[in-house]
Amino acid sequence: MTLTNASDDDGGIRLAAADAGLLEVSIRSAGLKVTAPRLAVLRALTDRPHSNADALFGAVRTDLPGTSLQAVYGVLASFTAAGLVRKIEPAGSPALFERRVGDNHHHIVCTRCSVVHDVDCAVGHAPCLTPADVLGFDVRAAEVIYWGLCAQCQLDTTSRPAEHTDTIHP
């Protein structure tokens, strides 16, 4: 048996190809067919975790002029169903998507600017994650969303108080 490494003439596009190759492997190993819209959406999601469908559509529409928001929704639905992508739905926000799956991590959301960050699974004893009665369910996951003001919004609100008029300094 002979190995042929001779036709190695694509050095210039190696990096881009490797990147696309990784995305293709991810899509295939989730049991999905690789298509241009799926590649584009997965790439956009890699760069922008916690994006909603609108934002992802905005990111892929230049690369895929023929695509539609509906097509992006379809891609996200197939990714979510295949376990390739995780969908999170903070109250008052459109559904957000991310590639970090399977580690039961949680999210911290700013009540003012809606920025979302990952936080690792709650440390220490977290009794709220163990229901008193599982009602016959086989519990697979518990979702925690921490709400608060992000560091930037704390700075913004202390430098120019907008809504609170109870502490006015003359």
- Binding-site residues from annotation: 110, 113, 150, 153
Pick the closer one to Zn ion by CB: 64 or 110: 110
Nearest-approach distance from CB 126 to Zn ion, in angstroms: 18
Pick the closer one to Zn ion by CB: 85 or 98: 98
Annotated binding site for Zn(2+): 110, 113, 150, 153
Nearest-approach distance from CB 82 to Zn ion, in angstroms: 18
Give me the residues that bind Zn ion (CB under 5 A), please: 98, 110, 112-113, 115, 118, 150, 153
Nearest-approach distance from CB 148 to Zn ion, in angstroms: 9
Pick the closer one to Zn ion by CB: 71 or 109: 109
Tokens at 136, concatenated:
């016959």
CB 108 within 8 A of CB 148: yes
Q: Please spell the DSSP secondary structure of 57-115, one letter per residue.
A: HHHHTTT-TT--HHHHHHHHHHHHHTTSSEEE--TTS--EEES--SS--EEEEETTT--
Tokens at 40, concatenated:
């584009």
